[in-house]
Amino acid sequence: MPAELICFEERCRARFPITEVIYNCPRCGGLVEAHYPEAPAPAAELRALWLSRRASNLPIDQSGVWRFRELIPFVSENDAICTLREGNTPLLAAPRAAQYGGLDHLVFKHQGFNPTGSFKDNGMTCGVAQALRLGMRRVACVSTGNTSASMAAYASAAGLQPIVFIPHGNIAYGKLAQALEYGARTLQVEANFDQILALVRRLADRLGIYLLNSMNPFRIEGQKTIMVEMMEQRGWRLPDWVVLPGGNLGNVSAFGKGLREMLEAGLIPRLPRLAVIQAAGSAPFYDLFHAADRSRLNAVTHPETLATAIKIGDPVSWPKALREVSNSGGTVEKVTEQEIADAKAIIGLCGIGCEPASAATLAGIRKLTAASVIAADADVVAVLTGNVLKDPDYIYRYHTDQLKAPNGDPIQAHFGNKPVVVPNDDSTIVELLNE
Ligand code: F0G
């Protein structure tokens, strides 16, 4: 039986052909996901096959997404696939960050090592593969920056026209620069992410463009493989916790689905716990998770955070995220602007670095260990979602004591590292460095 799309809502579960262009269930409006009626090959066989592909020069074998294609069989081997060798991101041990986070050990899975510098590439190679098989010519997304950078690159590489919608004045320059350089038609809309998403959904049908936001189920298929690759890199030893930042909540939905499917395939014996960290000024999922009634998410109308990647008040994928986090026995935490800024500087001091949203992970871990939700000796993987160079402006301001929270409060540079201006004079410099 071929792959199909299935409504995520338990009470509906309507099924649709995999080639139907839908982002929500036409019957009940629920989110949809890819579903594979046939079980993949036995676990041992899959592991051996994936390992053998590491020695291959075939582009799809070198992709850290398509190498695991037995778990994402929504296209056939004959369909066009555009890969920029996404995935293949390292697990990096970070003792200094571990200590700061109250842990004995901490490992970062750094998605910032991707071709466009974020985890979006894992999903975009799949979203664009689906756009190609559907015969689409134009693809679009609304984005806080990274999705637009990634979509622009993959669409252009695949010969499609990328159209990006971004909140005017509210995305980091590194990301805007990428969208322009990769040739996207770039529209800076005078509205916030949530408002623009509603706009783009209205426009998609009218303009005949294919939407590549994270409610696109094929994006989720690609992002699933982040968990598969992590497990393979760990020799299939499960961590206790996987910690990640949450914005529109596509990524945690993807991680949950990937882990669920690995469990079904016998690749892992149980689920690790998922911890989602949000910025305190944009934390509707935190509020939902800790509310008595979890049946409806109350959107934050004016989300605020300097971690612009996760400045989202009305996350589309919350029903999926809620189920995945709950099933895993996980939790949701929120962190302040100061906590994000300091955690980010610590990750930098490990020689690793990341963008602000990614640093929410370490700030969250610090809070969760202090509250004894995560034990000090727990085996924790934190996912750094974006590269340090995405938002250089933020970094410079922090280290030069100029960073201000959205409400105008100064952020203290507790781990600041100010550059020093010196005269072109040997003895002054010798004196300074020998101080
Ligand atoms: N971290 C980074 C660096 C991101 O760019 C995003 C989302 C997230 C975390 C949150 O992931 O939305 O799946 O919960 N960026 C999107 C974008 C919204 O448009 O680039 P999520």
Specify if 333 maps to a domain: yes
Specify if 326 maps to a domain: yes
CA angle 159, 161, 165 (to 5 degrees): 145
Task: Find the CATH number of the domain harbouring 277.
Answer: 3.40.50.1100
Which tens digit of pLDDT belongs to each residue from 140-181?
Answer: 999 999 999 999 999 999 999 999 999 998 899 999 999 999
Specify if 297 maps to a domain: yes
**Could you tell me the residue range of the domain that residue 314 belongs to?**
91-115+218-399
Which tens digit of pLDDT belongs to each residue from 312-335?
Answer: 999 999 999 999 999 999 999 999
The number of the ligand 1 atom at minimal distance from the alpha carbon of 251 is 13
Q: How many domains is the chain partitioned into structurally?
A: 1
pLDDT of residue 280: 98
Specify if 425 maps to a domain: no
How many Å lie between the centroid of ligand 1 and the Cα of residue 427?
Answer: 49
Q: What is the mean pLDDT of the chain?
A: 97
How many Å lie between the centroid of ligand 1 and the Cα of residue 143?
Answer: 8
* Sheet with 107-110, side-by-side order of all strands: 91-93, 107-110, 380-384, 241-245, 273-279, 331-335
Specify if 8 maps to a domain: no
Specify if 433 maps to a domain: no
249 token code pair: 């909540």
Q: What is the dihedral of CA 293, 294, 297, 298, to 10 degrees?
A: 20
Cβ of 251 below 6 Å from ligand 1: yes
* Main-chain dihedrals φ then ψ at residue 429, nearest 5 degrees: -70, -40
**Atom 6 in ligand 1: which residue has the minimum CA distance?**
309
**Atom 15 in ligand 1: which residue has the minimum CA distance?**
309
Cβ of 385 below 6 Å from ligand 1: yes
The number of the ligand 1 atom at minimal distance from the alpha carbon of 276 is 14
**Atom 7 in ligand 1: which residue has the minimum CA distance?**
309
Specify if 329 maps to a domain: yes
State the DSSP string of 353-372. Answer: ---HHHHHHHHHHHHHHHTT
**Atom 12 in ligand 1: which residue has the minimum CA distance?**
248
Which tens digit of pLDDT belongs to each residue from 33-78?
Answer: 999 999 999 999 999 999 999 999 999 999 999 999 999 999 987 8
125-132 average pLDDT score: 98
Cβ of 314 below 6 Å from ligand 1: no
